Structure formats: structure tokens, C-alpha cells
Structure 1
Amino acid sequence: MSSEAVGRYMPAEVTLDDLTAMMAADEHHRYEISPEGVLSVMPPPGYAHAIIATELMGWLLAGGVPAKQVAQAVGLRILGRHGGVGGRIPDLVVWSKVQAEAVWLPVTDVWLVVEILSPGSEGTDLVTKRVEYAAAGIPQYWVIDQDQAQTVTMHRLDGDHYTVQASMPLAWLLNTQPGEHGLG
């Protein structure tokens, strides 16, 4: 089913169940919704994006983070300040413990969320999601740019907002251990 067909049957208020159905019907797009009800429709990540996520996941696993505590492109239930419920699909998530199987997981045990910037996602990843993840209490938020250095900017929760902990090329990060960054 195309995104046009999904849009034809759009409910007045989109729930996470609606989002799940839309994704099942349209394999060519990724759907997210902010806690305020703003729907985002994105194409699937490209090859370079996927390779960055795979390299980072391999680094985490090789560094001792258990495989059942790391996942790519899994849904997180994001609660808003005014009672709304959103659903975000980060590129990579690391939990402090194994999660129960569900489509939209709670953020309670999340240690780290990683977003890889793609053309068009910069505003959402650098501003909107940063605010949402901080409000949800996620301790670390990393953003990876697809620039030549594949710059990783590590944000650490400081009260109710993130501060930059470090920024380095992905190749440098991959020569460290996850434990040096509070993981594993």
C-alpha cells in the first residue's frame, strides 16, 4: 500500500496502534508521531545510514553490551509533558536490561538513543527528538552526522536537558570501549 492510500484513511487523531498499522501497510516509509500529534513520514534509511548503525551495533556487541539489550529501529513510546503519547523509532537503542516484546517499548530502562542524520531529518533529530528524549529522562543521546568524519556528538542528560559530553569521528569512537562512555 502506498502512503497516498494510507493517507486516504487517516484518522482524526493518530494513535500508536494506527501508526503500527500504517507501517505494516506501507513498507516504503517509516512513520513516527510526536507526543503532540505531529506525524512524520520518512523514507527508509539509505545504505550509508545502515552501515553506520551496523558498525555502531557491532562495536557495542564486541564491547560486551548484551545482544538482547541493543536494537536497531525499534519503536519507543514517548510520553509528552501534556499527557500526549508519541512514538519514535531511533536508529539504535541500548537498554539497561532485556525488554518484554512489544511494538512500542517504554523508555524506562533506556541508557542510550542514537539518531543518524539523514537529509531532511536534521531539524527533527537535532531539536525535536533531543527535547523529547530529555523530557523522557533518557540518560544519553548520540547524534551521528553523515559528514566525511561521520561525527558522533554525545549528549548527556543534565537535569531536564542535554549537554554535549564529547564530539568525535566515528572511527575514533570505534577504537574505544563502550564502558568508557557509560555503556556495558
Structure 2
Amino acid sequence: MSAEAVGMHMPAVVTLDDVAAMNAADPNGHRYETSPDGVLSVMPPTDSEHAIIASRIFAWLIMAGWPAEQVLQAVGARVPGPSGDGGRIPDITVWRKPPSRRVWSAVTDLVLVVEIVSPGSETMDSVTKAREYASAGIPRYWVVERDGAQTVTLHELGGDGRYTEHARMPLAWLLQAAPADHLDG
């Protein structure tokens, strides 16, 4: 189907309900998100390398004692903004308490968001989402590169409402440490 054909059927304003319906209806596993400014993003399905990285981080957090109800993969987060709410689906999220059982959970209890960079999402993950998550007040944001070392950049929210780089290391190094060294509950 062409972009023109899809565009003819798109509503003038895409709501979070619309985005949830797009995610549910896509038989090919694309991920649909929207920014707080209403910009729709469509990402291709994840590949096995992406899934392995997510699984390794998820298992590391669970084995360190985080409850499974608080460490989630690919769950919707309602990201507030001046123009309205956006809906992002981070690769991994860690919550102070289990989030609501909704498609788009409020970010108020988010402790950490992890995004694994996929080809073509570099700017989205390192600039756009970093700005949105910082504006939403999420205390920690980690970006995992798909380079040879699978470099993880750990960002912490500063008093000025912006992220500062706290540390940068290969994923293997991170997974040798205790999560408490980088993440307090």
C-alpha cells in the first residue's frame, strides 16, 4: 500500500487511541508512536540482535531483584507535552510500582527508560526521545548503541530539567555491575 493510500485514511489528528489501534492491527509488528507534538513515527519490527540486547538487560534487572511487574519490555508510556500527550513505547522501562493496566501508562512512576538504537532511529533515540523524556521528568534514560561494544550511555536528569551523561560503557561492563550501582529503586 502506498503512503498516499494510507494518508487518505488517516484522521486529521492522530490520538493515542488511534496509535494503539495501529499497533494492534499491524500484522508485521511495526511499532507506532507519537510525539507530544503529534508527530507519528513508524518503526520497523525489531531484529534478533535488538531482542537479545533487551532480553539481557531485562534478565539482569530481574536477577538483581526488581519485580517482574516493574520491569517491562515494549509497554506504552504516555509522555506529556505542551501540545498534548504523546505515546512512546520504550524498549525497557523500570517503574517504582507496577504501572496501570492501560495501553498508555503515565510516566510519573517511571524510574528508567532504555532505548536500543536501531538503524535509522539514531536521532530519534539520542535527541528527540531524550528531550521528551527529560521534559516528562523521567530520572534516568539509557541509550544502547548497536556498535561492536553495544555501548550504553547512562543519562541522569539534572536540576535544570535536562539529561547529563552520567557514564558510558560497553553493555558487558554494565551487566557485570549491580543495577543498584546505576539505578536506585
Q: TM-score, normalised by structure 1?
A: 0.95
Other-structure match for 2:153: 153
Other-structure match for 1:60: 61
> Secondary structure of the residue that 1:164 maps to in structure 2?
strand
Cα deviation digits, residues 138-170 of structure 1 (max 9, x gap)? 000000001000000000000210000000000
Alignment of 1:7-86 (within 5 A): 7-28=7-28, 29-80=30-81, 82-86=82-86
Question: Cα–Cα, structure 1 residues 16 and 166, in superposed 2: closer, same or farther, change >3 Å?
Answer: same
Cα deviation digits, residues 21-68 of structure 1 (max 9, x gap)? 111111321100001111101111111001000000000000111110
Q: Is the 8 A contact 1:6 1:25 kept in 2?
A: no
Distance 1:24 1:65 in 2: 28
Distance 1:130 1:3 in 2: 31
Deviation at 1:7, TM superposition (A): 4.1
What is the letter of the counterpart of residue 80 of structure 2? L
Alignment of 1:134-149 (within 5 A): 134-149=134-149
Distance 2:6 2:169 in 1: 40
Other-structure match for 2:121: 121
Deviation at 1:6, TM superposition (A): 5.1
Matched, 1:107 2:107: yes
> Secondary structure of the residue that 2:107 maps to in structure 1?
coil
RMSD over aligned Cα atoms: 1.4
What is the letter of the counterpart of residue 73 of structure 1? A
Question: Cα–Cα, structure 1 residues 76 and 22, in superposed 2: closer, same or farther, change >3 Å?
Answer: same
> Secondary structure of the residue that 1:17 maps to in structure 2?
helix
Distance 2:119 2:8 in 1: 27
> Secondary structure of the residue that 1:76 maps to in structure 2?
strand
Distance 2:35 2:47 in 1: 23
Question: Cα–Cα, structure 1 residues 183 and 86, in superposed 2: closer, same or farther, change >3 Å?
Answer: same
Cα deviation digits, residues 71-102 of structure 1 (max 9, x gap)? 0011100111x231100010000001112211
Q: Is the 8 A contact 1:116 1:143 kept in 2?
A: yes
Which stretches in structure 1 are left out of the alignment for 5+ residues? Answer: none
Distance 1:183 1:60 in 2: 12
What is the aligned residue count? Answer: 182
What is the letter of the counterpart of residue 139 of structure 1? P
Question: Cα–Cα, structure 1 residues 68 and 3, in superposed 2: closer, same or farther, change >3 Å?
Answer: farther
Distance 1:122 1:116 in 2: 9
Distance 1:27 1:66 in 2: 31
Q: Is the 8 A contact 1:6 1:22 kept in 2?
A: no
Deviation at 1:183, TM superposition (A): 3.6
What is the letter of the counterpart of residue 53 of structure 2? I
Question: Cα–Cα, structure 1 residues 177 and 3, in superposed 2: closer, same or farther, change >3 Å?
Answer: farther
Distance 1:49 1:62 in 2: 20
Greater RCO between the two (CA within 8 Å, min separation 6)? 1
Which stretches in structure 2 are left out of the alignment for 5+ residues? Answer: none
Matched, 1:172 2:165: no
Distance 1:92 1:20 in 2: 18
